């Protein structure tokens, strides 16, 4: 049959190349139309491939999405330098924001938001993608400085570990944009450090 001209000659993607293209397409599709409108047709259109080719490998859009997430780059973990708590916390939050920028993170957010509606997806997300789970970002940094004695470890409760991440998410939702470096610094100075027993000094108060 006559093939639609893509570029000029007939170039047919296979295997790995096609797979990547499809993975990219799902993530883009989720970002654009949302989890609720994710369809095989839509993905096929965006990936410029045939529906048939999708059904050959996956049985529904969710399966495909999970596969794409499984394949996405893992989250980079912070590695505390060891002598500057404030700087390391800011770095940790910066890493968080960078991850949140990725297409994969976008899809993950969508799934978490609608997890009641797609329980299987959410569950599989934990099992197949979030294996590590638990402490990342500021958690890692805070534990490091507690072990080293800079922080009183009795202050490190589950709530305290969440302060930084919680504020980044809140800012993200409220302002619908990613926090700036200064805002991350403010989170560290005004919320995290006081909670772990480092009082704010005059300088921080003045510039706030």
Partner DNA sequence: ACGATAAGCTACGCGACCGTATCTAAGTGG
Partner DNA sequence: CCACTTAGATACGGTCGCGTAGCTTATCGT
> Min. distance of Cβ 110 from DNA in angstroms?
16
| Cα 140 to Cα 77: distance, rounded to the nearest angstrom | 8
What residues line the site for DNA (CB under 7 A)? Answer: 1-4, 6, 10-15, 18, 39-42, 48-53, 55-57, 60-61
| Cα 117 to Cα 126: distance, rounded to the nearest angstrom | 16
Q: Is 126 in the site for a copy of itself (CB under 8 A)?
A: no
Closer of 56 and 133 to DNA (Cβ): 56
Q: Is 39 left (phi over 0), alpha (psi -120 to 50) or beta?
A: beta
- The interface partner of residue 18, options being DNA, a copy of itself, none and the CB cut-off 5 to 8 Å by kind, is DNA
Residue that the structure tokens 């944009």 belong to: 177
- Other beta carbons within 10 angstroms of residue 96's beta carbon come to 24
Considering Cα of 65, then 118, then 46, then 58, what sign does the dihedral take? positive
> Min. distance of Cβ 30 from DNA in angstroms?
13
Q: Is 17 in the site for a copy of itself (CB under 8 A)?
A: no
Q: What are phi and psi of 149, to 5 degrees?
A: 95, 0
- The interface partner of residue 130, options being a copy of itself, DNA, none and the CB cut-off 5 to 8 Å by kind, is none
| Cα 152 to Cα 14: distance, rounded to the nearest angstrom | 56
Q: Is 146 in the site for a copy of itself (CB under 8 A)?
A: no
> Min. distance of Cβ 8 from a copy of itself in angstroms?
36
Polymer length of the chain: 208
Binding site for a copy of itself (CB under 8 A): 32-37, 112-117, 152, 154-155, 157, 159-160, 162-163, 165-167, 169-171, 173-174, 176, 183, 186-187, 190-191, 194-195, 197, 199-200, 205-206, 208
């Amino acid at each position: 049959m006559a093939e639609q001209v893509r570029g000029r000659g007939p170039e047919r993607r296979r295997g790995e190349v096609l797979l990547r293209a499809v993975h990219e397409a799902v993530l883009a599709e989720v970002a654009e139309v949302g989890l609720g409108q994710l369809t095989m047709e839509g993905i096929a259109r965006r990936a410029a491939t045939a529906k048939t080719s999708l059904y050959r490998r996956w049985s529904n859009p969710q399966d495909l999405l999970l596969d794409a997430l499984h394949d996405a780059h893992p989250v980079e973990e912070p590695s505390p330098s060891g002598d500057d708590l404030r700087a390391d916390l800011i770095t940790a939050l910066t890493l968080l924001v960078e991850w949140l920028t990725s297409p994969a993170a976008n899809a993950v957010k969508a799934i978490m938001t609608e997890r009641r509606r797609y329980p299987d997806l959410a569950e599989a997300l934990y099992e197949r993608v979030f294996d590590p789970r638990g402490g990342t970002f500021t958690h890692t940094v805070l534990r490091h400085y507690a072990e080293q004695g800079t922080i009183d470890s009795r202050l490190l409760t589950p709530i305290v570990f969440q302060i930084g991440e919680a504020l980044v998410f809140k800012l993200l939702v409220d302002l619908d944009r990613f926090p700036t470096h200064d805002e991350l610094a403010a989170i560290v100075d005004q919320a995290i450090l006081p909670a772990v027993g480092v009082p704010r000094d005059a300088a921080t108060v003045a510039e706030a």
